[in-house]
C-alpha cells in the first residue's frame, strides 16, 4: 500500500462474505487449503473458515490443497469433495505465529483489562499482543465463554486450565465460537476434532446482532490512536494505511449492545519508543475512524482505564489525559483548553506518574456486589458530584455537620486533585447498575506538625449497613500506617451512632472528647488493628 503496489477495501469482517455472495467481488477462482476428506468425503477448512467458506461457495472454480497437517475443525467448516474442482496434494507445516513475551507495558495493560472481566463473561480478544496479554491475567476467573474472530493459543490455554467452560453462555452454550485460528503447533493440535470448539463464517460470528445475543459480552480490541473526544483509529494514521478495519467495529458494536456487555479498546500510551503519544488532541488528517466517538465505552492504557460512554467532551478529555503517558499530559491539557474541551481554570495534570496503583483492591460485601477501591483521580470529579447530589440530606448532614446544597467545579476539582501523601482519598466504585459510579469515599488530611491525619467518610444511603465503613476505616488506617502516620483523628456527631460503633470496633482504646454534640476522637496507629492489604 505504501509503495502503491496494492489496493485496499475498507470493510468490516462481517461484511466480507457478502462481497463474494452478492457478486460485488466476482471470484473466478478460490484457492483454499483443507484437511484430508473423512470417510463421508468432507474436507474441513481448518484454521481459516472466516471468509474462505463464502469464497469457495461463490467462486466459479475451487482449487483445494489437501494438507494432512491442517486440523479438522468442527462447525460450519466443511466442503464435500464433489464441490471441489481440483484437489492438489500438499504436505507442509502450517504457518505458525508465536506471541512475543509481553513487556512491562503490556503486562500493566493486561492487569487493567482483567479488572473489567467478571466470572461468567463471554469474551472476544482481537488479534495482537496487547489484547491477548489480557488472557494471562484471567486465570483466576471462572466459567468464561468464548465468541471471537481469532482463536489464539492464550484462549486454548485458558480452556485447558478450566477457566473457559462456556457454561454461562446464552448463545451456543458449552461451545467456543470462532472464525479462524492463529498460533503455534500446540494450538493446531488443540483445535483438531475438538467438539468444544465451533468454527463458523465471519458473516455470522462477527455480526453485531449475533454478538449482542451473548449476555455479559466483553469485546477487547486494539487501536493505533484515540483522540480526546473518543474517536478510535485502527487502520491508518493520516493517509498511511497500516491494517484493515477487521472485526473491531463489529465487536465494539455487538459488545456494547449485549446485556451487561462491555466494549474495550486497549493500546499502549505511546509509540515509536515513547516519542509519540497515542492519545492525541485530534486525529491526523486522513486518519480513518473505525469506532465513532458515540460508540466508544472503555479505553485502556498502561496508566489505567477511561470510561467514556455517555460522558461529555469535558469528561472524556480528562479521562483520556489521565491515562496518557505523563510526558504528554501537559500538552494534551493545553490542547484541550485551546479547543474548549475543558474549563480554562482546570488544574494542571500531574507531570509525573505518582498515582499509587498499589492501593487498588476489589472486595465484595453483604449484598454480594463487588466494589473496586482505588485512590481518587482528577477524572472522578463528575462521579464524586453525582454521589454528593444523590445522597440524602441526612447523610450529607452527618458527613458535613450541615446540609450542603452545591458542588461547583471550582470546589470539586480541588477534592479530586491530591498529592497522595499529605492527602489520601479512597473511592469505592461499582458497576452494579451497568456503569461506573462512586458509592463511597474515605479520606485523610495529614497535619505535618503533629503527624496526625484527620479522617472522614461518606457512603451512599443505599450502601449503608453492608460493611463499607468498617472496611474503609481499616484500609485508610493501613495506608496511613505505611506512610509513617502515627495518629488518626476524627470528628463525629454524637447522633451518628453507626459511625461511632465502627470507630470503637476497630480502635477500642480510642480517646474521645465531646463538645457541642460533636465527639473528637483520637486513635493511635501503634495499637493493633486488622490491616487490609491488596
Is residue 240, in this structure, part of any structural domain at all? Answer: no
Task: Please tell me the distance from the alpha carbon of residue 468 to that of residue 458, in angstroms, as a whole number.
Answer: 10
Is residue 434, in this structure, part of any structural domain at all? Answer: yes
Is residue 331, in this structure, part of any structural domain at all? Answer: no
Strands 225-227 and 298-301: unpaired
Q: Which pLDDT does position 128 carry in this prediction?
A: 78
Summarize pLDDT for 276-305 with one digit per residue, the tens. 999 999 999 999 999 999 998 999 999 999
Q: Which pLDDT does position 3 carry in this prediction?
A: 87
Count of structural domains, the chain: 2
Task: Please tell me the distance from the alpha carbon of residue 518 to that of residue 233, in angstroms, as a whole number.
Answer: 56
Is residue 380, in this structure, part of any structural domain at all? Answer: yes
Within 10 Å of residue 456's Cβ, how many Cβ atoms? 17
CATH of the domain at 32: 3.40.1080.10
Summarize pLDDT for 16-32 with one digit per residue, the tens. 999 999 999 999 999 99
- Concatenate the DSSP letters of all residues of 287-336 into one string: ---SB-TTT--EEEETTEEEE-TT--HHHHHHHHHHHS-HHHHHHHHHHH
Is residue 515, in this structure, part of any structural domain at all? Answer: yes
Task: Please tell me the distance from the alpha carbon of residue 389 to that of residue 391, in angstroms, as a whole number.
Answer: 6
Q: Which residues of the chain have pLDDT under 50?
A: none
Domain final position from 56, 89, 122 = 89
Identify the bridge partners of residue 63 per DSSP, sorted by sequence position: 31, 86
CA–CA distances in Å: residue 151 to residues 44, 119, 178, 251: 16, 20, 6, 14
**Cell 498529592 belongs to residue:** 419
Task: Please tell me the distance from the alpha carbon of residue 271 to that of residue 100, in angstroms, as a whole number.
Answer: 17
Three-state DSSP state, 507 = coil
Active site residue 302: no
| Residue tagged active-site, from 3, 65, 149, 495 | 149
Strands 78-80 and 180-181: unpaired
CATH of the domain at 419: 3.40.630.30
Contacts of 528 (CB under 8 A, 6+ apart): none
Q: Which pLDDT does position 403 carry in this prediction?
A: 60
Is residue 316, in this structure, part of any structural domain at all? Answer: no
Name the residue range of residue 389's domain.
357-524
Instruction: Give the CB-side neighbour count of residue 406, counting CA atoms within 13 A.
Output: 4
Q: Which pLDDT does position 435 carry in this prediction?
A: 82
Domain final position from 89, 109, 128 = 89
Identify the bridge partners of residue 246 per DSSP, sorted by sequence position: 12
Is residue 31, in this structure, part of any structural domain at all? Answer: yes
Is residue 206, in this structure, part of any structural domain at all? Answer: no
Domain final position from 58, 89, 120 = 89
CA–CA distances in Å: residue 405 to residues 7, 213, 389: 61, 43, 8
Cell representation of residue 410: 471550582
Q: Which pLDDT does position 351 carry in this prediction?
A: 60
Amino acid at each position: 500500500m505504501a509503495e502503491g503496489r496494492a489496493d485496499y477495501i475498507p470493510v468490516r469482517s462481517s461484511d466480507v462474505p457478502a462481497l463474494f455472495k452478492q457478486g460485488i467481488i466476482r471470484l473466478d477462482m478460490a484457492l483454499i487449503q483443507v484437511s484430508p476428506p473423512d470417510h463421508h468425503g468432507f474436507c474441513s477448512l481448518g484454521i481459516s473458515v472466516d471468509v474462505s467458506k463464502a469464497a469457495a461457495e461463490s467462486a466459479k472454480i475451487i482449487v483445494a490443497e489437501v494438507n494432512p497437517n491442517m486440523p479438522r475443525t468442527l462447525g460450519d467448516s466443511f466442503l464435500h469433495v464433489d464441490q471441489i474442482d481440483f484437489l492438489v496434494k500438499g504436505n507442509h507445516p502450517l504457518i505458525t505465529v508465536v506471541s512475543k513475551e509481553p513487556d512491562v507495558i503490556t503486562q500493566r495493560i493486561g492487569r487493567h483489562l482483567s479488572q473489567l472481566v467478571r466470572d461468567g463473561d463471554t469474551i472476544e480478544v482481537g488479534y495482537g499482543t496487547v489484547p491477548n496479554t489480557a488472557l494471562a491475567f484471567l486465570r483466576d476467573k471462572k466459567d468464561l465463554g468464548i465468541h471471537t474472530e481469532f482463536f489464539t493459543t492464550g484462549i486454548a490455554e485458558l480452556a485447558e486450565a478450566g477457566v473457559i467452560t462456556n457454561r454461562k453462555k446464552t448463545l451456543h452454550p458449552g461451545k467456543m465460537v470462532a472464525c479462524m485460528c492463529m498460533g503455534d503447533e500446540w494450538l493446531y493440535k488443540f483445535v483438531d476434532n475438538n467438539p468444544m470448539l465451533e468454527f463458523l463464517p465471519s458473516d455470522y460470528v462477527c455480526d453485531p446482532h449475533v454478538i449482542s445475543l451473548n449476555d455479559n459480552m466483553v469485546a477487547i480490541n486494539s487501536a493505533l490512536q484515540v483522540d480526546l473526544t473518543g474517536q478510535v483509529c485502527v487502520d491508518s494514521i493520516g493517509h498511511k494505511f497500516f491494517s484493515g478495519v477487521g472485526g473491531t467495529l463489529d465487536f465494539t458494536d455487538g459488545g456494547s449492545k449485549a446485556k451487561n456487555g462491555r466494549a474495550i479498546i486497549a493500546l499502549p500510551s505511546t509509540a515509536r519508543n515513547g516519542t509519540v503519544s497515542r492519545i492525541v488532541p485530534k486525529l491526523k488528517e486522513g486518519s480513518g475512524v473505525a469506532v465513532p466517538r458515540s460508540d466508544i465505552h472503555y479505553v485502556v492504557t498502561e496508566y489505567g482505564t477511561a470510561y467514556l460512554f455517555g460522558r461529555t467532551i469535558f469528561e472524556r478529555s480528562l479521562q483520556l489525559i489521565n491515562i496518557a503517558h505523563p510526558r504528554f499530559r501537559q500538552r494534551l491539557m493545553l490542547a484541550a483548553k485551546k479547543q474548549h474541551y475543558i474549563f480554562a481554570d482546570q488544574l494542571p495534570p500531574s507531570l509525573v506518574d505518582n498515582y499509587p496503583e498499589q492501593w487498588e483492591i476489589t472486595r465484595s460485601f453483604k449484598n454480594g456486589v463487588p466494589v473496586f477501591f482505588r485512590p481518587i483521580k482528577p477524572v472522578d470529579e463528575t462521579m464524586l458530584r453525582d454521589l454528593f447530589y444523590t445522597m440524602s440530606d441526612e447523610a450529607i448532614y452527618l458527613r458535613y455537620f450541615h446540609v450542603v446544597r452545591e458542588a461547583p467545579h471550582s470546589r470539586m476539582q480541588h477534592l479530586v486533585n491530591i498529592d497522595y501523601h499529605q492527602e489520601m482519598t479512597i473511592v469505592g466504585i461499582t458497576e452494579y447498575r451497568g456503569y461506573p459510579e462512586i458509592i463511597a469515599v474515605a479520606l485523610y488530611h495529614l497535619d505535618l506538625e503533629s503527624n496526625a491525619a484527620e479522617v472522614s467518610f461518606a457512603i451512599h444511603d443505599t450502601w449503608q449497613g453492608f460493611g463499607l465503613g468498617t472496611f474503609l476505616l481499616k484500609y485508610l488506617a493501613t495506608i496511613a500506617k505505611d506512610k509513617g502516620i502515627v495518629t488518626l483523628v476524627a470528628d463525629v456527631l454524637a447522633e451518628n451512632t453507626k459511625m461511632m460503633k465502627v470507630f470503637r470496633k476497630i480502635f477500642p482504646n480510642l480517646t474521645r472528647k465531646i463538645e457541642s454534640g460533636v465527639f473528637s476522637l483520637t486513635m493511635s496507629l501503634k495499637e493493633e488493628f486488622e490491616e487490609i492489604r491488596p
